[in-house]
């Protein structure tokens, strides 16, 4: 096995996704230590970043703000410590669903129709233009925090007011209701697609992390040639943003079978409910092998 030196596993942090990060990071830490890696827990919410001096690599298991948005990546760049996942720019762009959509649309990748909202928006006109159902979400949050599904006319303003508690940038997005899918990315490889079938109305925080009745289909049920084409497109979507190392690209399918790219996750979850480990297992990689592979891709620049 490669000698990775002294490894900091960064998890916890100050974002709204702290609880999930603690679960992800503790599992990664345990898997690394079981394989003889000199890995140590490091919670940036409880320790000064200059305590990272002396570490040779960082495995980033922070989710959301300050950990997935280019902030910690910039600090590690300044300290010269190679880290897992995407660099500063790609992390910052990937955290911003609005700018991600703009970039994808500019290169011809399909995204759901959307409108940016503010206090002065004509909410009724937005409902009419996008149709119902539609989704309202903070542009720079993850784990479905602050997301509302608007089913009935007149519901958009309340959904906006919930989302704006979490971020000043708020998106209203046309509901694409034919199925939700995700593609894990590992190095230059797109992993097998997973179809997500929540028992709840949509794939919300509860369905992602707390419930045991969310179904994950891998193989996803798409014809092989269609799956291969979508995996290639997901890899393109990942690279267009400048992402590297590992991550996850989510897309939706409409009732006619057309795919629409939704968002990228540059620091995916690694809990017992998480999707990249599931897809890696389908590709023949154990959890232990996956964490070593991710760590081996740590870099600077």
- Residues marked active site are found at 17, 143, 209, 248, 250, 263, 265, 269
Q: What is the distance between the alpha carbons of residues 16 and 166, in angstroms, rounded to a whole number?
A: 9
CA torsion, ordered 155, 158, 163, 167, to nearest 10 deg? 130
Select from 89, 87, 148 the least CA-distant residue to 297: 87
**Is-cis flag, bond preceding 219, omega within 30?**
yes
The SS3 call for residue 15 is coil
Select from 292, 295, 222, 294 the least CA-distant residue to 259: 222
Q: What is the distance between the alpha carbons of residues 196 and 30, in angstroms, rounded to a whole number?
A: 27
Q: What is the distance between the alpha carbons of residues 134 and 155, in angstroms, rounded to a whole number?
A: 10
- Cβ count near 297 (within 10 Å): 16
Residue 106 CB-density burial (10 A; 0-12 exposed, 13-18 middle, 19+ buried): exposed
Asked if 139 and 97 count as a contact pair (C-beta separation under 8 A), the reply is yes
């Amino acid at each position: 096995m490669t000698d990775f030196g002294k490894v900091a596993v960064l998890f916890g942090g100050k974002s709204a996704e702290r609880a999930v990060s603690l679960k992800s990071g503790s599992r990664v830490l345990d898997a690394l230590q079981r394989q003889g890696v000199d890995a140590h827990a490091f919670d940036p919410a409880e320790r000064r970043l200059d305590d990272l001096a002396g570490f040779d690599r960082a495995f980033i298991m922070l989710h959301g703000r300050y950990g997935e948005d280019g902030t910690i990546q910039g600090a590690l760049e300044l300290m010269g410590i190679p880290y897992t996942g995407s660099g500063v720019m790609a992390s910052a762009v990937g955290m911003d669903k609005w700018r991600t959509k703009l970039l994808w649309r500019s290169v011809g990748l399909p995204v759901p129709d959307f409108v940016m909202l503010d206090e002065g928006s004509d909410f009724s006109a937005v409902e009419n233009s996008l149709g119902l159902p539609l989704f309202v979400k903070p542009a720079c949050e993850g784990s479905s925090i602050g997301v509302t599904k608007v089913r009935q006319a007149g519901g958009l303003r309340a959904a906006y007011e919930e989302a704006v508690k979490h971020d000043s940038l708020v998106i209203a997005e046309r509901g694409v209701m034919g199925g939700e899918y995700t593609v894990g990315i590992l190095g230059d490889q797109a992993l097998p697609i997973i179809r997500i079938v929540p028992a709840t109305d949509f794939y919300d925080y509860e369905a992602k992390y707390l419930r045991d009745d969310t179904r994950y289909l891998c193989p996803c049920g798409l014809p092989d040639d269609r799956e291969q084409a979508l995996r290639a497109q997901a890899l393109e979507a990942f690279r267009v943003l400048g992402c590297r190392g590992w991550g996850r690209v989510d897309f939706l399918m409409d009732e006619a079978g057309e795919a629409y790219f939704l968002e990228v996750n540059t620091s995916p979850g690694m809990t017992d409910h998480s999707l990249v480990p599931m897809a890696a297992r389908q590709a023949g990689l154990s959890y232990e092998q996956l964490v070593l592979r991710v760590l081996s891709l740590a870099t600077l620049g």
